Amino acid sequence: MDNIFSFADELGPLKVIHIHEPAIGLKGVLVVDNVARGPSIGGLRMAPDVTTEECVRLARAMTFKNSAAGLPHGGGKAVLVGDPKMPLQQKETLIRAMACALREVEQYIFAPDMGTNEECMAWVQDEIGRAVALPREVGGIPLDEIGATGWGLSHVVDESLKFCDFDIRDARIAVQGFGAVGKHVTNFLCQDGAIPVAVSDSKGTIYNPDGLDVKKLIALKEEGKSVTEYTDGEKHSQDAIIDIECDIWIPAARPDVIHEDNVHRLNTKLVVEGANIPITYGAEKVLHKNGILCVPDFIANAGGVICAAMEYQGATESAALAAIEEKLRRNTLEVLHTAERDQVLPRDASLAMARKRIDRAMSFRRWNIF
Ligand code: NAD
C-alpha cells in the first residue's frame, strides 16, 4: 500500500499498527477502523500473503457488519503473516506475541478468522484477556458447534418470506457448502418444513428432487466424508449446485461464486447469503432486476458476530441465540421494507442503514479517536 491516507475517509481508519519482531518472525498489522459504536471486534486472519490493504478493507467491512448487526462495537481487523498450518508451537508463539504487542490497544477485541480458531483465541485471552469465540472451558460459546450463523440465517429466511409468494413448508432449498454454516442452516430450515433438494461441498453436489435426509448428510460430514457419498441421490460436479431448480438458494462456501457471467444460471426465488461476499455487486443487480430477492451477507450471516459479542458481555448461550433471532429478524424486515419502498438493492438499503447508525454514534462524540 503506497499511502494509507489514500484509503482514509471520514469513518476511518483510526489506527493502523504494524508489528515486526524479526527474532521470532512476527509480522502483523492491526487496523482499528472506527470505534464510535464501541470497541472494535474483528477477526485475526493468518495467511502467508495477507497485506495491510486487505486488513484495511476487512476492518471497514467489520465497521459496517457490527453496526448493521446493532452491536455496541466498531470495526477492526488484524492480520498475521504466516502459514496457519505451521507447527503448533511456533503458531502459538506468534499469536501470543501478537497479542502482547497489542496489549494496550483496548479498542480492539480479537476474534477468530481464516487461519485462526478458538484455541488461538484462548492463547490471546491468556495473554491479554481480550478475545471472543473462546473454548467453552474458558467461558466461550462455541458458535460453530451450536450453529449460531445458521440459526440466524433461518430467521432471516423466515422474515424474507414475507416478501415472497411461497411458504417455508415444502420450500425446496439448495445449499452450497455443507460446513459449519451450511449444515446448520439446512438443519434449522428442515425443522421448519423445508426440503433440501441439493447440497454441495468441495467434492461435488448431491441432488434428489424428493429431498435429502439432513441427519444422514451431517453424519457423513462428521465421519470426515463428502456429501457426495450420500447414496440416495444423483452426484454432480461442485458447480452444478448453481443450476438446481429450487425456491431458496443459500451460498455458504466461498467468495465470488456468483458473478455476472453465471448469475443467469440461478433458478430460484430467494437467495440468502451465508458466506461472505459470495455474490458480486453486479450479479446482485441482475438478481434484483429479475425479481429474485437477495439478502446480503452482512445482514444475513451476522449470527456469528452477535454470538461473539454476547459472549464478551458474559451472556449465556440461550441469551445469545435469542439476541441473534431478535436482531436479525428486525434488521431483515427493516432492510427489505426500505429496499421495497425505495426500489433499491437490499445491499444498498443495508449499507445506508449501517451508515446511519455509525453517523449517529459519531455525532455523540467529541472525538472519535478514544
Ligand atoms: P467451513 O470450512 O466449516 O465449511 C465450508 C464448506 O464449504 C465445506 O463443506 C467445504 O467443503 C465447502 N466448500 C469449499 N469450497 C467449495 C466450493 N467451491 N463449492 C462448494 N462447497 C465448497 O466454513 P464455514 O464456517 O461454514 O464458513 C462458510 C462461509 O461462511 C465462509 O465464507 C465464511 O467466511 C462465512 N461465514 C462463516 C461464519 C461462521 O459462523 N462460521 C459466519 C459468517 C460468515
- Alpha helix segments (H runs only) across 262-316: 281-289, 297-300, 303-312
- pLDDT over 90 at 316, yes or no: yes
List the beta strands (DSSP E) in the chain: 15-21, 26-34, 40-47, 75-81, 108-112, 172-176, 195-201, 204-207, 234-236, 248-251, 270-272, 293-295
Q: What is the mean pLDDT of the chain?
A: 95
Q: What gap in Å lies between CA 257 and CA 265, rounded to an integer?
A: 12
For 183-233, what is each residue's pLDDT tens digit?
999 999 999 999 999 999 999 999 999 999 999 999 999 999 999 999 999
The phi, psi pair for 348, rounded to 5°, reads -65, -40
Looking at the structure, give the CATH architecture of the domain made up of residues 148-303+330-354.
Answer: 3-Layer(aba) Sandwich (3.40)
Positive or negative, the CA dihedral 110, 254, 145, 309 is positive
**What number does the ligand 1 atom closest to the CA of 205 have?**
20
The phi, psi pair for 186, rounded to 5°, reads -60, -45
- pLDDT over 70 at 368, yes or no: no
The amino acid present at 171, given as its one-letter code, is A
Residue nearest to atom 14 of ligand 1 (CA): 202
Contacts of 25 (CB under 8 A, 6+ apart): 82, 94
- pLDDT over 90 at 159, yes or no: yes
Which is more confident, 367 or 257?
A: 257
Q: Output the pLDDT for position 367.
A: 75
139 alpha carbon – ligand 1 mean position (Å):
25
Domain ranges (residues) in the chain: 4-62+75-138, 148-303+330-354
Q: What gap in Å lies between CA 12 and CA 62, rounded to an integer?
A: 12
Q: Output the pLDDT for position 295.
A: 98
Q: Considering just the CA atoms, what is the radius of gyration of the chain in Å?
A: 20
Fold classification of 4-62+75-138 is: Rossmann fold (3.40.50)
Residue of 62, 143, 184, 202 to mutate, ligand 1, most atoms within 8 A of C-beta: 202
Q: Which residue, 290, 294, 271, 273, is CA-closest to 349?
A: 294
Q: What gap in Å lies between CA 289 and CA 313, rounded to an integer?
A: 42
Q: Residues 107-111: what's their mean pLDDT?
A: 97
pTM: 0.93
Q: To the nearest whole percent, how much of the chain has pLDDT over 90? A: 93
Q: Residue 269 catalytic?
A: no
Q: Which of 15, 27, 65, 77 is catalytic?
A: 77
